[in-house]
């Protein structure tokens, strides 16, 4: 489910850690700066891609196909990318992923500005973008402990969790909406490409962090098996990932595809209005991050996580009930605030109970399983909307997704870890192959 951020479980969160302390470390300062600029670009891309899709083909099927085209490559490459992030230099993986995405988004900008872009070219470009995302995500989630001392991990990840919604969900969409409304999608894509260039430069300037890796090809297969076995033996892991996959099947495609369609075709609003709707979600996410940081980690963490995710999913129904842009903003704010609160708790649970040596693999499995059914969700959205209507699809998706999410809480053993400070990382874990105990495969002790 979403991203993992180590250290968010410390009591006091934002108020009791020095958020700026990690910026003393040069490599983290570079990573953080590049990440912030890139996230603003990602927020711009969200608006520009949605508006461009409906300019080329003004039907729900347009964004549905783009969602399929982006998520299938991401899913296909996440698992090998996770293994590579545990075995190779994470900085190099991130560098290649960002450089590749800068090139393909620059090509998209040129095609859009010259009026030569076709829908199928847009499909091909977002597919390549999805591949880059697959390689970047596990490496990014696992590199922070490589470049930040253990004493500053809580602050580093709290800072990341605070800045992420500001850049991705608030500043980026608001700027993207203004750009698309004012000068067109081509300029917005160009600025997004520039953000990847900035991130690439920042990562290039980082020193390669110490990170042990194995030189044996067969170790990757064994590493995958270890990760799968670890997940399978823990109800809180496999139950959450599978329920997320089914819930996302129900509501994520309709939410991603039909929200821009409602703004453009039902409310006859502008790209700037769509940007403000997304920005409201950013405000909600920021507020949730601040609240959770002040409150600290809840004792009944699994229950709280599922409760917030359930209500968040039900908030998607607001997209189908809204008759004005401000009502969409309220629904988006509620969804993102509650989703973020649950995700912070999920991040803490993972960081408490997953050994550091498996972070890359578990993160990739998390993403791969959670979003595994998204292509089907995107594929079903257009025909269902054509059959029962856009608004009915959104309301039905919210209700079905909410029921599925809440139901997972009652799986036998789901709440067994509540109140446990930390699980022994090796308890119930598969025995390690001797190959993993050789010095080259050991995890950096700073973790």
In 216-358, alpha helices (H): 218-232, 235-261, 271-295, 301-315, 317-321, 325-353
Burial of 434 (0-12, 13-18, 19+ CB in 10 A): exposed
Cβ-contact 22, 156 below 8 angstroms: yes
Q: Of 286, 307, 311, 287, nearest to 298 (Cα)?
A: 307
What is the fold of 13-429? Growth Hormone; Chain: A; (1.20.1250)
Q: List, in order, residues 6 or more apart from 130 with CB less than 8 Å away.
A: 69, 70, 71, 72, 73, 74, 77
The token duo for 134 is 């697959």
Q: Of 359, 436, 299, 412, nearest to 11 (Cα)?
A: 299
The model carries a pTM of 0.71
Cβ-contact 336, 282 below 8 angstroms: yes
Q: Of 17, 293, 5, nearest to 160 (Cα)?
A: 5
Distance CA 230, CA 181 (A): 48
pLDDT (tens, 9 = 90+) of the chain, 447 residues, equals 443 333 323 333 344 446 677 788 888 889 989 989 999 999 899 889 988 988 898 877 888 888 888 888 988 888 788 778 777 788 888 999 999 999 999 999 999 999 999 999 999 999 999 999 888 887 887 787 778 776 676 566 667 767 887 888 788 888 988 899 889 999 999 999 999 999 999 999 988 766 544 444 445 667 777 778 888 888 888 898 999 999 999 999 899 889 988 998 888 888 888 888 988 988 888 888 778 766 777 888 889 999 999 999 999 999 999 999 999 999 999 999 999 888 878 877 876 777 766 766 777 778 778 778 888 998 899 899 999 999 999 999 999 999 999 999 999 988 888 866 554 444 333 333 322 222 222 222 222
Q: Which residue ranges make up each domain of the chain?
A: 13-429
Q: Of 417, 418, 380, nearest to 400 (Cα)?
A: 380
What H or E segment, with its residue span, contains residue 420?
none
3-class DSSP assignment, residue 125: helix
Angle between helices 235-261 and 301-315 (to 10 degrees): 20
The token duo for 365 is 């499995």
């Amino acid at each position: 489910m979403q991203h993992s951020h180590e250290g968010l479980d410390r009591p006091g969160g934002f108020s009791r850690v020095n958020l700026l302390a990690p910026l003393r470390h040069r490599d983290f300062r570079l990573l953080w700066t590049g990440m912030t600029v890139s996230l603003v670009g990602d927020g711009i891309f969200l608006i520009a891609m949605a508006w461009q899709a409906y300019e080329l083909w003004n039907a729900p099927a347009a964004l549905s196909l783009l969602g399929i085209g982006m998520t299938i490559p991401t899913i296909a490459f996440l698992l090998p990318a996770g293994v590579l992030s545990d075995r190779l230099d994470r900085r190099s993986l991130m560098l290649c992923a960002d450089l590749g995405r800068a090139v393909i988004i620059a090509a998209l900008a040129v095609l859009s500005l010259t009026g030569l872009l076709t829908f199928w070219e847009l499909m091909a470009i977002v597919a390549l973008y999805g591949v880059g995302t697959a390689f970047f995500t596990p490496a990014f989630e696992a590199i922070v402990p490589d470049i930040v001392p253990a004493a500053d991990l809580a602050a580093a990840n709290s800072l990341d969790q605070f800045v992420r919604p500001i850049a991705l969900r608030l500043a980026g969409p608001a700027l993207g909406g203004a750009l698309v409304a004012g000068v067109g999608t081509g300029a917005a894509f160009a600025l997004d490409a520039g953000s990847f260039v900035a991130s690439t430069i920042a990562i290039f300037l980082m020193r390669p962090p110490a990170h042990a890796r194995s030189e044996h090809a067969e170790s990757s297969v064994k590493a995958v098996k270890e990760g799968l076995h670890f997940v399978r033996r823990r109800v809180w892991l496999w139950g959450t990932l599978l329920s997320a996959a089914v819930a996302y099947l129900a509501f994520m495609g309709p939410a991603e595809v039909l929200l821009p369609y409602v703004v453009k075709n039902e409310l006859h609003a502008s790209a700037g209005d769509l940007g403000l709707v997304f920005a409201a979600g950013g405000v909600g996410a920021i507020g949730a991050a601040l609240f959770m940081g002040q409150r600290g980690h809840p004792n009944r963490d699994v229950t709280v996580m599922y409760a917030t995710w359930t209500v968040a999913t039900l908030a998607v129904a607001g997209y189908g009930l809204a008759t004005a842009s401000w009502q969409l903003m309220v629904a988006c704010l509620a969804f993102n605030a509650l989703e973020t609160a649950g995700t912070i708790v999920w991040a803490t649970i993972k960081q408490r109970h997953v050994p550091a040596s498996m972070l890359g693999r578990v993160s990739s499995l998390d993403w791969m399983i959670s979003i595994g059914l998204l292509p089907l969700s995107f594929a079903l959205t257009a025909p269902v909307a054509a059959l029962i209507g856009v608004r009915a699809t959104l309301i039905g998706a919210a209700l079905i997704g909410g029921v599925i999410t809440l139901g997972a809480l009652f799986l036998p053993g789901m709440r067994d870890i509540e109140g446990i400070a930390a699980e022994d990382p090796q308890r119930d874990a598969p025995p390690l192959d001797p190959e993993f105990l050789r010095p080259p495969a050991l995890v950096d002790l700073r973790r």
